[in-house]
Amino acid sequence: MTSTLWGDDPSQDLIELRKRLDEFIITFATPNVSDLFPILAPFDLQGIESKAKEQLSWFYGVFESMIKNRRNIGDDGKKKEKISKDFMQQLLELHQRGDDNSSLSLNEVKALLLDLVVAGTDTIPTTVEWTMTELLRHPDKMTKLIEELNMVVGNQNTMEESYIPQLVYLDAVIKETLRLHPVAPLLLPHVPSETTIIGGYTIPKGCRVFINAWAMQRDLELWDDPLRFQPERFLETDINYRDSNFKYLPFGSGRRMCVGISMAKKMAALLVGSLVHSFEWRLSEETKLNLEDKFGLVLKKTESLVAIPIARLPNLEQYK
């Protein structure tokens, strides 16, 4: 994610960045009594607001330092060497455009960078872990996926992004995983800008609205045998992530749906495909697979998956 957003910046301590991201996500996901009773907000009873402000200040300080370097202006005001355009550079060009209708403020640039790095850091590994858990629980599905990878990729090659469009069963496996285990079970909160009536219910202006995607994607009225892990259901239908329906929306829907769908699809497919294609996976005798999860902004397993990889490709060079 950081390479995509601002390139390989040697000045960044990625270990510290990851630690801070984990802390920020925990703070963001912690239930806040002030959200339920706004009259209590000025007291910050749980200290969540002060903690969030401190964490936000740290991230914005990091981004400001990078933006200063990116503008090619040092302390002496001289131009530095030209750098290639990455996402940060594109945002800075929008910032410098000077058009009130299409330009971005510096705070908006920093906020976008933080949104993207937070949204893309925890979600994809969580999806991969749930996918591997379901495949290990269902050996027949694992075998079917291996057969597809053997046919499309072959054992003389390594999994690459170019193979993804041909791996239809892999796509179905990930879609089914996101149906049963949506990374953001309540999506992200929405706040209406004006009071609205929907389905006979009055939604007041400024209230916080959550969408229970987890429940909708397990609804018996919408899905056949909804609790069963059955990737084949997505081979028999044309349901996709961008459909305007209300039974499958792991990335949200409409104008506010996740902007990172394309990257998430490719990253999850590449990671799962690589793990299954390159290794046989086994569980230790004392390991018992379970699907218990812990509720939060990101739906994670209560106990992390631990599995044993065994190399299955014939050439060791393929693992470099």
Contact call for residues 275 and 290 (beta carbons, < 8 A) = no
Q: What is the DSSP pairing of strand 196-198 with strand 201-203?
A: antiparallel
CATH topology of domain 123-319: Cytochrome p450 (1.10.630)
Q: What gap in Å lies between CA 218 and CA 33, rounded to an integer?
A: 29
pLDDT given for residue 102 in this prediction: 72
- The helix/strand/coil state of 214 is helix
- How many C-beta atoms surround the C-beta of residue 192 within 10 A? 14
The predicted-structure confidence for 119-140, as pLDDT tens digits, reads as follows 888 889 999 999 999 999 999 9
- How many residues would you count in the chain? 320
The predicted-structure confidence for 214-224, as pLDDT tens digits, reads as follows 999 999 999 99
Cα Dmax for the chain: 67
pTM of the predicted structure, to 2 decimals: 0.86
Q: Which long-range contacts (CB under 8 A, 24 or more apart) does 239-248 make?
A: 239/175, 241/175, 241/265, 246/216, 247/216, 247/217, 247/219, 247/222, 247/223, 248/179, 248/217
The gap from C-alpha 304 to its chain's centroid, in whole angstroms, comes to 18
Token digits of residue 217: 């994607």
pLDDT given for residue 72 in this prediction: 63
Contact call for residues 127 and 177 (beta carbons, < 8 A) = yes
Mean pLDDT by 10 residues, the chain (320 residues): 79 84 85 84 92 94 88 52 72 80 85 87 92 97 98 95 97 97 90 92 90 94 96 91 85 87 92 97 88 84 94 89
Query: Which has the closest alpha carbon to 211: 178, 186, 244?
Result: 186
Segments making up each domain of the chain, as ranges? 2-121, 123-319
Find out whether 207 is annotated in a ligand binding site. Answer: no
